[in-house]
Each structure stands twice: as C-alpha cells, then as structure tokens.
Amino acid sequence: MNTKGEIQEISAFTRFDVVSDSSDHYYVNSNVPKRNAVDPFANASGGSHKKIMQEWKILEKHLPESIFVRVYENRIDLLRAVIVGAAGTPYHDGLFFFDIVFPTDYPARPPCVYYRSFGLRLNPNLYANGRVCLSLLNTWTGKKCEKWNPQESTVLQVLISIQALVLNEKPYFNEPGHGMWPGRNIWEKKSSAYNEDVFVLSCKTMIFVLRKPPKNFEGFVSGHFRERGHVILSACKNYIQGHVRVGYFRNDESFCSPSSGSGSGSGSGSSSSAFVEVSEKFKGLMVQLYPELVTAFSRTGANLGNLVEQIKVEKRTTSLKGEVSVMNKKKKEKNKNGIASRVFGKIKGVLGLKKSVVKAR
C-alpha cells in the first residue's frame, strides 16, 4: 500500500521499504517488554539497535531482484521477506514468505525465521510448522564457518542462503543421506519424483497466497501472478504432456505468451520431439489444480488466452505404457514357463521317466 492507501502495482513495488502495520507478523508478540520494562530496541545508541540499522542499509543497497523486504518503523525487531522462486527449479514463479525477528541480544544470536507454509512441506529444510533448518541460523548442523558469526553474518546472507541452498534445482538432495549411496540413476529418479511433488505443493501455495496475501504485499502478490500467470499455466501443460522435465520449464515470454495458445513448445534442456516420463499421480493432481490456478490468476486480471481451457491428458501415452507393461508381463511368463519345462526335463532324465508320463502328470 502507498501513503494514500492505494495498492501499488508490482512495477512500483520497491525491493526494500519501511511500513507500519505489523499486525499479522508471526512474531508480533515476541520481544514485547513487560510493564515498566525497558524496550531493548528503543535505545538508538544500543548495540542491537545499531546493528539492525546496519542490516537495513545492507538490505536496501544489496537485495537481489528476486527478494523483497519490508521492515517496520515501530517494530525494528521484525522483518518480512518474500523470495521469488527461481527459473530452473520446481519453485519457479512461486512466492515464498518468511517472517523474521531479531533477538534482544542481537547479533550475539542469529535471527529467528518462520516460513509461512500454509501447512505444506515443499522442502526438506522448510517444515509445515514454519521451522527453517539452516546452518547459518544454527537450526541445523554444519561446519563452524557455516554457522552464525556475530561479527560477520547478516540477514541478507540468510535470505540468499535460503534462495540458493534451500529453494534449489534438486531439493531432494537437501535431505541428509539422499544421494550418498551407489546407484546415481536411482537417486536421480527419486529426485525427479520429488520435484513433481514439490511443484504441486508450490502451485497450492500460490493459490493460498493469492487468497490471503501477507500485509504490505497485497499489490505485489496480485501483480506478480497477473504478470506470470500465463507462464505458470504453460509450464503446467508442458509438464503434464511430457514436453519438459518438471522444474525445467524455460521462463521466457516468447516461449509461452498467451497468444501462443497451449504453450506446447519445448523447454530448457529438451527438444520438441522428446518425451519426458511423468507419473500418473502428478498428472492427476495437476488436472485437479489447473482450474483452481486459472480462477486464481483470472481474478488478478492476468491475460491467459487459450490457457483457460481445461488440460487434456494425452491418453495415448498411458495406452502405450499399458501395452509395454502387458508385453513385459507376457515375456516374463513365457520365460518362466520355459525355465519350468527345462527343470522338468532334467528331472525326467534323472528319474528315467518317459516324456508321456511327465506330460500326463
């Protein structure tokens, strides 16, 4: 919202700004001094106050284009950030919100970070209860150099770490032990399956965020999905139809503009003639979610073109898979019968039985 109470367009939404309404912040009741107690953040000459002001300056100057932050003039101990999911990951075009609070002895201890999950767990490091596991926050194990350093660590480092190390291309491998054993192809398949689940949860998160955007980000949320709605829907169609691996949809306007219709061209890392295997579970979930996404994006005024049409799953792919499965089953049965015949033949030879006797039995 601007000073006149009007919702700002995304193009006018600055990456860093100071706002006043912190009423829906997760930590709004934290650090509230008891009656007649001194507010540890009120003293401008205090160590915590000075450090937080330094943090504000760093954020204002160095935030990347995909991270937006709001701080509060009456509660300098609170901060809210949104990270835009990066292209080339299953989080692409999603909005992920984090509420942050500085402890009273900051920077001796790292800030506390709460992920606004809507009850969904779409990453091994981001729990459904909002917990964020990160070495830099001292909420996860790590080398000494990876943990919070009061002299050097900053909130900007925390946000960039979440963006780069948590919301990454293959989040399956964030889980300890995954990918540590022989059989790389097996782990990659598991990672691809996990990316399917992540994208579904990311789409659900988009719907929840649009229904109830965090305060001071209402205009940004609406504007973001108004601009990117057709891209997200094009990605959904391409993933379901097996044109692109889930999470690798090429994020550019020329490839998936509303005028292009179904947006069924090739994506990054795949050709138009290639087919990517997608699970039936993923297809089914996305077919259910697609109309909800269309409705949610349409309400923002997004230009969706022909993308408003319901997804049609290509049955031929399923049929071919079924045929292959039946052929493999018949082949196994044939091999099994062949082995059984040879075994009986050997028994017959050992016992001196006649062929006709064996056949009759």
Locate all alpha helices (DSSP H) within the chain, ordered by sequence.
47-62, 155-161, 184-211, 218-240, 280-298, 315-351, 355-360
Residue type, 187: W
Compute CA 110 distance to the chain's CA centroid, rounded to the nearest angstrom: 25
Catalytic residue among 133, 145, 203, 256: 133
| 133 counts as catalytic | yes
* Whether 199 contacts 281, CB under 8 Å: no
**CA-CA distance, 81 to 351, in Å (whole number)?**
81
219 Rama sector, left if φ>0, alpha if ψ -120 to 50, beta otherwise: alpha
Could you tell me if 139 and 124 are in contact, meaning their C-beta atoms sit under 8 angstroms apart? no
Instruction: Show the tokens assigned to 238.
Output: 């391409």
Among residues 258, 254, 281, 314, which one has the least CA distance to residue 195? 281
Which of the 8 DSSP states describes residue 226?
H
β-pair partners for 100:
79, 113
CA distance 358 to 361: 5
Which tokens is 246 given? 């889930």
C-beta separation of 125 from 133 below 8 A:
yes
Q: What are the tokens at 360?
A: 């009759």
φ/ψ (deg, to 5) at 9: -75, 155
Active site residues: 133
